[in-house]
Chain A
Amino acid sequence: MPYQIQIDGMVEISEMLTKLEEQAPSIAAQALYDGAGIMSDEIRKGAATIKTAPFKYAREGTRLPSPEEKEIVMGVTAGIAKFDKEGTEVNTSVGYRNSGYAMLNGKQKPIPVIVNAINSGTSFMQKQPFVRKAANSGGPKAMQAMKDKIEKAVEAITKQ
């Protein structure tokens, strides 16, 4: 006697999986945007803690950044780069790479160079690694926020 087995709902599961696959890049991009925003805020918070001292030529030792330099760094935000989408993979970077130029002591200087001098130090400037510190403390927060966002979006699709 032949047995007959019938399973219901396979079409629905297949449809749901197709929908999930279609929407995966957009969900990932939304989550990444949230995470990048948290990182940008953390870097800005770090920039507020830069120690300064009035400008003097340091021919001998190392100096602290001048208040004008800090003002320039605080005047721009750590920007979020254009999203690089490849299949279901989305990448971006947060930083001062395209921050433009600022006038410092009567000269036009690129802002990334000023940030780099403060962050990594030079032979004449004391190093204050605020970007590295922000990446260290903000990374887990950003990852948690992205995880929450993805879980919520996937739940909305699967529980219809």
Chain B
Amino acid sequence: MPSEYEALVAALKLLSIPFVEYGWKARPEGAYGVVQLDFEAGTMNGDGGKADRAWEGSVDVFYPKLTNRGDIIDAVEETLTTILGNSWSLNSTQYETGTGLFHVEWVFQCQDVEAEPEPKTEGGEGNAVSDPD
């Protein structure tokens, strides 16, 4: 799992509407959200393997008619911007006649951000050999 995706899921789960990964087993009442990774969007080769991998995923929000949708949509978009910068876009908005739910879909791309290496301590010897004993 890319680290940015994990951070996004953790942040979305703190929002006011319930969020889950990869679909619900039992649909909740009112507004709810789904977040998932869809496929690997692109890679660059380097060092005899995949160097930079990018994944594409999507965030879906469903809400019934009389919902304060502005707050939900703003909160989701702010979360996406905080974690992924501008690598997301609004993909579609739909209305389901059968269930009477509105459906907003965002697509994002994320990657595995490695933790920055610790700065080397100054004054260390170049080839220090540890003392036996």
Contacts and interface: CB of A to CB of B under 8 A. Distances in A.
A125 to B, nearest CB: 9
B133 to A, nearest CB: 59
A129 interface: yes
A129 B57 CA distance: 10
B92 A120 contact: yes
B39 A120 contact: no
B99 A132 contact: no
B54 to A, nearest CB: 10
A61 B36 contact: no
Interface string A43-79: 0000000000000000011100000000000000000
A136 B58 contact: no
Contacts of A60: 24-27
Interface residues of B, number: 26
Nearest to B97: A113
B106 to A, nearest CB: 11
Contacts of B42: 136
Main secondary structure on B side of the interface with A: strand
18 contacts: A60-B25, A61-B24, A61-B25, A120-B92, A120-B105, A122-B103, A123-B62, A123-B101, A123-B103, A126-B22, A127-B36, A127-B38, A127-B58, A129-B39, A132-B56, A132-B91, A136-B39, A136-B41
A112 to B, nearest CB: 12
Nearest to A137: B39
Contacts of A123: 27, 62, 96, 99, 101, 103
A120 to B, nearest CB: 6
6 nearest CB pairs, A to B = A62-B23, A61-B25, A60-B26, A133-B39, A123-B62, A123-B101
B1 to A, nearest CB: 18
Contacts of A122: 94, 96, 99, 103
Contacts of B99: 122-124
A124 B98 CA distance: 10
Interface in B77-125: 91-92, 94, 96, 98-99, 101, 103, 105, 107
Nearest to A133: B39
Contacts of A129: 38-39, 58
Nearest to A61: B25
A30 to B, nearest CB: 28
Contacts of A95: none
A116 B92 CA distance: 10
